[in-house]
Amino acid sequence: MMRRTILSTSATLTAAAVCAGLVLHTSAAATAPPAHGAAVSAGSDRGRLVSAEHLRTLSAKETRRELARAGFDRHPVRYGVDTYRLVYHTIDAQGRPTTASGLLVLPRNGVRRLRTVSFDHGTESYKGDAPSMGQDGFGAAPAITYGSAGFASAAPDYLGLGLGPGFHPWMDVPSEATASLDMLRAARAFVPRTGRELERRVLVTGFSQGASAAMGLGRTLESGGDPWFRLGALAPISGAYDFQSAELPALLNGGVEAKSGALYTAYFLVAYNRLHHLYDSPSQVFQAPYDRTIEQLFDGSHTGQQLFAGTPGTVDALLTPYGREMLLHPAGPLAAALRVLDGTCTDWTPQAPIRLYLSGGDEQAVNANSHHCQMALRSHGVNAPLINLGTHEYQGSRHLGSNVSGTTAVVRWFSRLR
């Protein structure tokens, strides 16, 4: 869910924990998103590089130090890394041409043909906290971990974050999947410049918001959404896979830490109104004085500290009765959008190996999400082990702690797969 601002970095430990965890993770028209399995058309610009910028070269020792500062495990590090920011062509939530950015991490190991990991990050609201921007060590640490373990690691910023124009369509799985796939295409186009190439099979993972995004990307790859890349394995961490039946009730009824609940609820309503027109005026769903400021706070230019300071401490202080009723009993465009969001575990049958990861007592992405996902997959005949990562905390948050411990667990699993 929101990483450290909701899911972004903030000034206090509490604010940081709220921001970094958001899993819930634009435009005005309520048009249908592109089909998740649609293959790229002939002549499409999707995935074409706009620019590639070398950011840093880190030795193995420097990489270990970098990960330790971010609170991540140093032990998976085998190599130094080079990091790059890629800007590439993709499509927005309505299928119109746009651009996005992302972080590419390559190991300094001399291997020519690289196994590839796609990592989808947790909730962010501030453009500068996206993985490729280098301002948030927590956000980039998983990609650096995979790169230092010997993989080529691609981490999209998503639409509207990093150097991407416009608003971020939070928790819009179709556009997360297209941005993630097009980041892989951009990486494949760039990597030969370094004398390397990417293997065809992609190991896909993601945290919080990125867990749903990872499931969406996995589904796209298995449905033939790209002529080259194929799904090799899938390992989402602490996702909100059942937003309507598990996450929304927890947000509204105290099952999520109170400030996190207010932040996620606000982000969800603002982002989904931009996509699906849920309300005519913010005052319909948000109480004063937040109705006058809440949409501006989620414009991508406000930091986690500003977001934390500008929102109430509880959902009850945020929502009007109308806003609460809308979320308790979704109908119309909202119900339709939730069916798309919640389809990542229910409307396909993964053939590649899959594991789900959670943290016991997660205060942001409630555990029912992962249990419901596992049951849905099992109903399709898919054995998806549910790995409990324990109760490791990062800055007081088990949700954020699952990103740390989950990254270590996933890199070990990916390293064993052939």
Question: What would the pLDDT profile of 351-382 be if each residue is shown by its tens digit?
Answer: 999 999 999 999 999 999 999 999 999 999 99
- pLDDT for 281: 98
pLDDT tier at 54 (50, 70, 90 boundaries)? very high
Sign of the four-CA dihedral 341, 198, 58, 56: negative
Nearest partner of 169 among 317, 273, 315, judged by Cα: 273
Q: For 328, list phi and psi in degrees, rounded to 5.
A: -70, -35
The bridge status of strand 230-237 relative to strand 197-207 is parallel
Tokens of 204: 């896909």
C-alpha 383/C-alpha 353 separation (Å) is 9
Q: Are 179 and 310 in contact (CB under 8 A)?
A: no
Closest CA to 403 of 123, 45, 84: 123
pLDDT at position 36: 45
DSSP letter assigned to residue 49: E
pLDDT surpasses 80 at 344? yes
Q: CB neighbours of 141 closer than 8 A, spacing ≥ 6?
A: 66, 67, 70, 71, 72, 407
Which backbone phi and psi does 89 adopt, to 5 degrees?
A: -80, 140
Helices (H), ranges, 277-397: 282-285, 294-297, 304-309, 321-328, 332-341, 368-379
Q: What is the pLDDT of residue 37?
A: 41
Instruction: Work out the average pLDDT over 185-212.
Output: 98
Q: What is the mean pLDDT of residues 306-322?
A: 97
The mean pLDDT value for 345-352 works out to 97
Nearest residue to 55 via CA among 84, 78, 22, 27: 84
Cα separation, 214 vs 203, whole angstroms: 10
